[in-house]
Amino acid sequence: MGWMQDRDLLIAEGLAFVKAVKGADAELPEPLQIVPIVQTEQSLRSEPPSDFNPPKFDRVVSLPPKNEREEIASRLASFKATQLKFQREREQYGSTTLNEALNRDRGTEATQRPVESGLKAERN
């Protein structure tokens, strides 16, 4: 028994199972059209159409910046600004969380007392 017969038997068993589960009115799938390998190889060997012109791309060269010092300075300034923003957000979150915890312990959420962040005093 060849592999094609095994395949056909497996498909037939699968369809019989589907019919048993779904009922006798189960739709059978359309069989796929099988293309011989010889035809496929011939179509692959055929030459591309005469009007086929692949796109031509210009070569892109990565050029160094004109002034490397300015680029380094701008990147460093951007990095410092981002770090300061994160620091402010952390301090704000910390003071808000501390205020909530202190006010919750006292049971007086209506009279919130601002708590200064000790981080600024410690750094200076």
Over residues 55-106, the pLDDT tens digits come to: 777 776 666 667 888 888 889 999 999 999 999 999 999 999 999 998 887 7
Is residue 52's pLDDT more than 60?
Answer: yes
- Indicate the pTM of the whole model: 0.34
The closest alpha carbon to 4, from 29, 30, 28, 34, belongs to: 34
Sequence-distant (6+) residues with CB within 8 A of 95 are: 114, 115, 116, 117
pLDDT for the residue numbered 124: 47
Burial pattern 57-70, b for ≥16 Cβ within 10 A else e, equals eeeeeeeeeeeeee
Rounded CA separation 75/83 (Å): 12
pLDDT for the residue numbered 84: 96
